[in-house]
Structure 1
């Protein structure tokens, strides 16, 4: 197996490693030198040593890229993030910040003469500015309580910023004579979401004058309203957009609270006019998600992503464009079955670039507005994550694969070829032997073709028989594309000397809406058979030991493992279930996003007249525990409110009571994910030890 080779870099961070180290020691930041590896096989420590690129911004003149890189200091168990720039046409990568605190939300000022960023020097996150070379950092805002995002108006007369506003009463507000009381008193749903209890605050967008001294206050566009914009917990400043003339703002918001919020995905786009102070709903007719607004360069059009059906979070993500003068709205995805994400206007405003999943890779597409034609620009074994057009008509895009963490590339839109712009991790990757990633097509039980990724161990020997893992994807409408994960990393799993089988089973995007939607209300149906089709096909290979098969997965993948435990008919010798659903009845009344449960399960368990829902509840893994006989490792985080950790406890306890060998790996400070460095490494070690114990005897 050949080593992963990256073409010669245009700019190399590692060339200044010695200088960065001395700067780090002086300023207490952390930009490590390239580690000298003792082996060419991946380890958890190596996985967590990679620099993580993000927050990519192209300069207004289209010539320079601003980006951040995060490194995790394992001993300190914390991340360090610094900002860098690199010319689009090549040259040196320049590190422009070097502090012990993390800079975030960095963006170019519209005139290109400053870079704005968020920085918490004195505790609260505030807006700062610096010169493009990193010199003269200056605090711009002093907003009480801090801010979480910002955008310059194109005319540089105003700043749009986001601030958390407290509108709900705490228990101590209700009973001020009980200042040490620690309790919550709830009256409605959505009191916790994903990984956080509601903190009695709401994200509100504010507009303040810019260039008149320190920013200390602004106009609240949602004053007194218990709504969030950007939405919690995952939305960011991309959900707000300035018109190019700086006179209007469009923001996305789901103007609901409590139970109504938990049942609906109906967010809308709202246009706020600075002069009249009036707000207009631009998408009232659409009942699903409307998100990520972006104006054309001349302001004549507004593009956004839209889902049609309320309550269906995995609906097709479509490209919508509105003529701001006539109000006419066009759905450019009407005759196109794929999803669109990360919309970006061409510099002439005649087309839109975006990312779409096709056959388990994420590619760059271009929509021509005049003809409505959508062209695919790239084709390869990779995932593009962002895209933007440069001054000379090239594209800057962030790209990953199963064999490489994110780097920036310059893409030729005419032929789809790319050249690396950064090589943050080249020094480490050059020392590693990556396993071969192979695309296979497997027949399903209903005679359809299913794409299955097969990842081989480094130094694969076809004459050996390997223990093999079936990977079960979450979502359930997630994608088994060419993603690079710091937990479910296919190369990391393969480096433990396993064959990995990763099927694009029913319910995944990139293969048409029929394939995607089949899984809803059929959790124990065809997609489970797809798992069996994939592992049975690979088990026939001479290099796969059919007597040493395991199944692993998280979220819906964790449910899949729990369900397979009662239905696998002896195929598997070990299971790992991370944050998996165990008891559907309890899941329904303890999760938070009720729209998800109602759409995918079909309704509440107490509605005995709803035969669709009752069939869904018949798939609950807890109903089949009497058939469990295979060792299982259960993993869960206490702060997982999407699938509460008691689901994991239930699975583990049931296994022990059934005398099935089991372990429970529990993280009090983690949520649906494992995000800290040391917990992440512990996760990888326990994962490997469990599988080795049962599959490598």
Structure 2
């Protein structure tokens, strides 16, 4: 249920991958959009450009990136490629097609820009000149590819592709071509929002010369029923050539069925192209080991590592291996924060990364010589990626007041300059609400960071309905994120004050704070929620008769739990994809390691006191106390928390004669990804709140 910083380019990818060639039509942007009001609407929220992946040229002078724009009436996203000087300046749009381009990068020699496109009918690797001219298809892989990387030596390309290894019912019974059924013998037959499709994502390599692939591709995982990268969120950061181009490192969890469902034990494997052997570099390390990245001289490998098997929110550590000796060093023993997105400096002396830090995400520097860490940036923002570019860093950054932009960061001062300014024309027409950082004392005398977001034209002499925002995850920091769904500026634009606490069980405040929630779902974190809303409700501008609480995922669980315990604080509740019945959730989710760890075991082992405490706090056991109007939202393709959880909560509310509404999306998963569904979500969200809190 945790996770997951979603890839902003997914909508573009979905539009690109329909499997048939599109007619030649122009692309679409909202760059020149003029709005009628300074107050944001759902339609305006979906009109922002979304910066996708960013890549710096080998000489550090040019940045290539993608931007996606949504055409609301078509319910479609268009993605194109842009370049700009790394030092800042005007950007140039170098593709303008109906067929979306994505996964953009530089060829190692810097002479070509590479990208994926389904222009030819399925997804293949293409190259073009840095000015966008002369696009050429590089791969001609039957069935298309899903990701790619060049060997630094430029003699090979690796790619990922799904390989069918399991039998369908039509393979078993070819005389029944119209039969429609599945036969399952073990767990993990569906994951996140897809049923198992009898295929496994594998890593291949193929020779490359003169701008084209040559010969036949080699599957380095032939016959193996495992995924690399990891499903469902792993990307090409989990696969890498060694600098000499002779080996491929990849992340994989080589477990099947029940064993895979209960474990997070992924490892990093090194495949030798010369002798076709595979070595497990992290054997005996029991948690997630992911994202191998090599020093420029090829002597060292850094990666992200969690210690404990089954715990997806464990401390994310920085490990480095000496490849000659096999010696592994944990450089995180003396720090109490996580590492994400490791990137080597050109000289191999420094590793750059990002980390959660007290409500924001910052850039950090690790000096290999003396094993020292230093924090580079500091502010009210999220830095989500970082890459060296000469004497600067190129990063992406968001906040609650603006979507993702590309930032040039001075590593000496930490100062960041917005060099992309993709959304400046639209932002200039809008008025954003103030974002305030408060520290509130909890019931156990701890300091808790709470964000308070005010309406754009806030008047301290007025009284405003106020919303408590309950975070999902559960271990996912309330940071400076920007979303097309849970967008605090969108809520504020509708004249609500938002109270967003970093309650117990969130990263960025030390591992003890993060871990406290496991086994204590109805405990201290719920007290933290109530403390936050009670404290802010003391303000004269808060309408205490019209308080609401909203949240998704674990935040949705929180809403159901608060419904039975809030003691008439709230007049409206909204739960999106929340857990209603913990016992049922344990038996119907897909990644069993999550519920098994956080609930401290199953619900039938009555001797397990910690687990019994968890299940005793299931929201469905307190419905006799429900008395508050509630909106329940769920997607049919949510396999993490199946929609029957939301249906059960809604049905129960109506059987108790509580005013309730059920918003059901047949084609959505744990999120709402479609543009028009997203706008509908916003409209219904505020229609319900306004009915209950603005009477």
**Post-superposition shift, 1:215?**
4.7
Q: Provide closer, same or farther for how the CA distance between residues 398 and 33 of structure 1 changes in structure 2, counting only shifts above 3 A.
A: closer
Q: Which residue does 2:3 correspond to in 1?
A: none
CA distance in 2, matches of 1:54, 1:106: 9
Q: Which residue in the other structure is 1:122 paired with?
A: 120
Task: Give the conservation status (yes or no) of the 8 Å contact 1:464–1:543.
Answer: yes
- How far 1:328 sits from its partner (Å)? 1.5
The separation in 1 between residues aligned to 2:645 and 2:112, in whole angstroms, is 50
Quick check: 2:352–2:364 contact (8 Å CA) kept in 1?
A: yes
Q: Which residue of 1 aligns with 2:192?
A: 194
Name which of 74, 77, 80 aligns with 1:79: 77
Aligned counterparts, 1:39-78, within 5 A: 39-78=37-76
Q: For residues 138-149 of structure 1, what are the structure 2 equivalents within 5 Å?
A: 138-149=136-147
In structure 1, how many angstroms separate the alpha carbons of the residues matched to 2:250 and 2:31? 42
Where does residue 158 of structure 2 map in the other structure?
160
Output aligned runs, 1:86-105, within 5 Å: 86-105=84-103
Deviation at 1:418, TM superposition (A): 1.2
User: Where do 1:189-588 residues align within 5 Å?
Assistant: 189-211=187-209, 213-215=212-214, 217-391=216-390, 393-588=391-586
- Partners in 2 of 1:643 and 1:433 — Cα distance? 36
User: Secondary structure of the residue that 2:175 maps to in structure 1?
Assistant: coil
The 5-angstrom pairing of residues 15-26 of structure 1 reads none
Whether contact under 8 Å (2:31, 2:423) holds in the other structure is no
Q: 1:621-663: per-residue Cα shift (whole Å, max 9, x none)?
A: 1111111110000000000000000000000000000000000
- In structure 1, the residue matched to 2:15 is none
Whether the aligned pair in 1 keeps the contact of 2:409 and 2:417 (CA below 8 Å) is yes
Aligned to 2:14: none
Equivalent residues of 1:142, 1:216 under 8 A apart = no
d(CA) in 2 for partners of 1:91, 1:337: 38
Residues 100-139 of structure 1: CA deviation (Å, up to 9, x unaligned): 1111111111001111111112321111111111111111
Task: Report the counterpart of residue 18 of structure 1 in structure 2.
Answer: none
Give the Å deviation of 1:502. 0.1
Residues 226-259 of structure 1: per-residue CA shift (max 9 Å, x gap): 0000111111111001111111111000001111
Quote how far apart the aligned CAs of 1:263 are.
0.5
Q: Which runs of 5+ in 1 are unaligned?
A: 1-24
Matched residue, 2:652: 654
Deviations 1:559-615 (A, max 9, x none): 000000000000000000000000111101100000001100011111111111111
SS of 1:626's equivalent?
Answer: helix
Q: Which residue of 2 aligns with 1:7?
A: none
For residues 99 and 116 of structure 1, the distance between their equivalents in structure 2, rounded to whole angstroms, comes to: 16
SS at match of 1:635: strand
CA deviation vs aligned residue, 1:344-369 (integer Å, no higher than 9, x gap): 11111101010011111000000000
- 8 Å CA contact retained: 2:88, 2:420: no
Q: Distance in 2 between matches of 1:202 and 1:187?
A: 17
Q: 1:26, CA displacement in angstroms?
A: 7.6
> Equivalents in 1 of 2:626, 2:681: separation in Å?
24
User: In the alignment, which of 678, 681, 694 is matched to residue 679 of structure 2?
Assistant: 681
User: Is contact 1:143–1:216 with CA below 8 Å preserved after alignment?
Assistant: no
* Structural mapping, 1:578-657, within 5 Å: 578-657=576-655
- Distance in 2 separating the partners of 1:521 and 1:67: 42
8 Å contact from structure 1 (residues 436, 456) kept in 2 = yes
- Residue equivalent to 1:693: 691
**What 5-or-longer segments of structure 2 have no aligned partner?**
1-22
User: Which whole-Å deviations, capped at 9, do the CAs of 1:363-400 have from their partners, x for residues lacking one?
Assistant: 00000001111000111000000001112x21011000
Partner of 1:8: none
Assess if the C-alpha contact under 8 Å between 2:207 and 2:213 holds in 1.
no
Structure 1 CA distance for aligned equivalents of residues 176 and 377 of structure 2:
62
Do 1:144 and 1:216's aligned partners in 2 also have CA atoms closer than 8 Å?
no
Instruction: Kindly provide the CA deviation profile for residues 270-314 of structure 1, in whole angstroms up to 9, marking residues without a partner as x.
Output: 011111211111101210000011111111111110000000000
Alpha-carbon offset, residue 421 of structure 1: 1.0
For 2:416 and 2:513, how far apart are their aligned partners in 1?
31
Which residue in the other structure is 1:9 paired with? none
Aligned-residue offset at 1:618: 0.6
Alpha-carbon RMSD across the aligned residues, in angstroms, is 1.2
Asked if structure 2 preserves the Cα contact closer than 8 Å seen for 1:141 and 1:216, the reply is no
On the 8 A contact 1:71/1:79 being kept in 2, the answer is yes
CA distance in 2, matches of 1:89, 1:122: 35
Describe the superposition over 1:180-228 as per-residue Cα deviations: whole angstroms up to 9, x where unpaired: 1111100110000011111110000001111175456311111001000
CA distance in structure 2 between the partners assigned to 1:188 and 1:122 by the alignment: 38
> Secondary structure of the equivalent of 1:128?
strand
Contact 1:27 1:98 survives alignment (8 Å): no
SS of the aligned residue for 2:607 comes to coil
Whether the aligned pair in 2 keeps the contact of 1:399 and 1:406 (CA below 8 Å) is yes
The residue matched to 2:184 in structure 1 has which SS?
A: coil
Map Cα deviations across residues 477-516 of structure 1 (whole Å, 9 max, x no partner).
0110111111000100111100000000000001111110
TM-score scaled to structure 1, two decimals? 0.95
Number of aligned positions between the proteins: 673
- Confirm or deny: 8 A CA contact 2:31 2:425 kept in the other structure: no
TM-score (norm 2): 0.96
| Residue pair 1:142, 1:215 contacting (<8 A) in 2 also | no
Give the 3-state SS of the residue equivalent to 2:483 in structure 1.
coil
Listed one character per residue, the Cα deviations across residues 29-57 of structure 1 (whole Å, up to 9, x for unaligned) are: 11234221111111000000000001111
Kept after mapping to 2: 8 A contact 1:550/1:572: yes
**Structure 2 CA distance for aligned equivalents of residues 421 and 41 of structure 1:** 25
Q: Deviations over 1:158-194 (max 9, x none)?
A: 0101010000011111111111111110011000001
| C-alpha contact (below 8 Å) 2:360/2:380 kept by paired residues | yes
**8 A contact 1:143–1:217 mirrored in 2:** no
> 1:110 aligned to 2:108?
yes
SS at 1:75's partner residue?
helix
